[in-house]
Amino acid sequence: MNEVQNQKIQEALDQFRIETPSWGFADTGTRFGKFLQDAAAIDINDKLADAGQVHALTGICPSVAVHVLWDFRAGHPASGIMILLAPEDAKDNQFLFRRDQSDSDGTFLLSNIVPGRYRLLAIEEGWDLNWADPNVLAAYLKKSIPLQVRAHDKLKQMVEVQSR
């Protein structure tokens, strides 16, 4: 390779850019199975932060391709989501957990709740999670909603759906 060719290659590499896909930073899967990753991003903010790290390290990944259905569901009703009401002291109160699946309009109903302090979570494809394990639950508690439930309460609460 001569000097002119080398210079052209160098110039082309200086202009080279890669757009990273947001779904590459999250747990992924196909109809054949789910592929879980340690410390996978759970929402668009995590995905963008991860993409920022990739760009900081490589200098060639300045943009992110997002998936509208996965990354921007905030504010829109979601059906089939696991709704979980976890007691504040989850480890010693397994019997206090309550679960439901959101309906087509995004609503859910949790009943027979013992008065106390809880965290409300909505987890997409969360049904096969070991949600009663405090170590598994910890990753989702950051975006949970704290609730104080009193006897005979009837609460209406919106909750952000977290990706698994």
To the question of pTM greater than 0.85 for the whole model, the response is no
Percent of the chain exceeding pLDDT 90 equals: 27
C-alpha torsion 130→108→47→17, nearest 10: 130
The per-residue pLDDT for range 91-121, each reduced to its tens digit, is 888 899 999 888 877 788 888 899 999 999 9
What's the pLDDT score for residue 74?
A: 58
Residues with Cβ within 8 Å of residue 69, at least 6 apart in sequence: none
The per-residue pLDDT for range 25-43, each reduced to its tens digit, is 887 766 666 777 788 887 7
